Amino acid sequence: MDTATPYAVAEDPPPPPAPSTTTTTTTATASSAILSRLRPLRSQAARSLAVAMQYARERLARRSPGGGDDADTAVTELPEKFRALEDRVDRVRRLLTALTRVSRNYVRPRYDYDPPLADSARGIASAMSGRVQSIVASYRNPAMGVPTPGTDGSGGDSGINDAAAAASGSPVPSGLSDAFSRAAAAASASGLAEDNAALAAALGRFAEAHGRVASARLRQDAAAAAGFHRPLVAVLETHVAAAMRARRSVASYRLEYDAARAKLRAASAAVTAGPVAGGNGPSAAVLAGREEAARADMERIEDEFVAAVDEAMGKMNAVVDNNGVMRSLSALVAAQLAYFAAAHAALEEVAPEIDELNVTNEAMLQPPM
């Protein structure tokens, strides 16, 4: 008779799996990548702190009696040529700012005419209605595309497009001449000829002349914006802005360089003084190592400082040697000359006719003898 054990014999549990070499390598790689990303941030934070502390020391030194005489707060002087370029760039920047504050009117509609409130409301309503109809039409016909501001004359920086639209049927006149033209034409066509034919005729000719003047003004505005305002704004936003950023970088490097110099002086003084008696402080070898590290750091920052100064001078020279202002001024004068010539020609043509109509009208209004 077979004798079977009524209970199963427990087996030993399997050994735990060995750690994956691939997983360990991946973790180490990820940690190394994180540390490599944090290292520049830590270096940048240390640099920013050194710059801030040096700036604070210099401010305190300037406020104290005899400030700036201490070697630790001595400010590195920039080259005379650099400071002269800074002054010239500042003058160019002030000039461009003053000119563009005036010339921005060329990209604004109706800068010489303040329309009545009712006309403004009708103009806004008309523009919004046209915009809505354009968007609805574009969605009904996707091939047309949805118009964007600045491409349909109803938005963006194109006040000239707005003025052109006003001159071609908008409820709001594009400017003073267009307003005169509309008012005179409306009066001439209102049945005035039945009451005073000479005045109606004069108003009609006056309307025609100012219609030509209004068109010439729109052409002037377009040319002045394209040849004067926008080029000067571009110089401000590119060359001048780049020069100003480079100057701020030089100021930051100068503070960092002076902070590194102060650190090197402190390290050299510690080496000269020697280790603290009793052996509680750093050894002479440690002090010498600190001095050498401070010297290497200062030399590195000095090279970066010199490079930043050279780069800033190059960018400032690009500003002061730019002939864009003169070229833009020439374009503006040409646009204004064309406008005033057209206005003069239009008014000169109708002036004798209106004078003659005036004499006729006075004769007609005189009571019979």
Copy the structure tokens of residue 230: 């926008």
The pLDDT value given to residue 365: 74
Euclidean distance between CA atoms 362 and 369, whole angstroms: 14
The phi and psi torsions of 347 (rounded to 5 degrees) equal -75, -35
Contact 217, 181 (CB under 8 A): no
Copy the structure tokens of residue 186: 């409306």
Q: Can you give the pTM of this predicted structure?
A: 0.67
The pLDDT value given to residue 131: 61
Mean pLDDT by 10 residues, the chain (369 residues): 47 58 64 65 65 67 61 79 96 96 91 69 53 61 45 39 43 88 90 81 94 95 96 96 96 92 89 77 86 92 95 96 94 97 96 91 75
SS3 14: coil
Euclidean distance between CA atoms 352 and 346, whole angstroms: 11
Contact 195, 73 (CB under 8 A): no
The pLDDT value given to residue 159: 39
Question: Cα 185 from chain centroid?
Answer: 43
Copy the structure tokens of residue 249: 């970088």
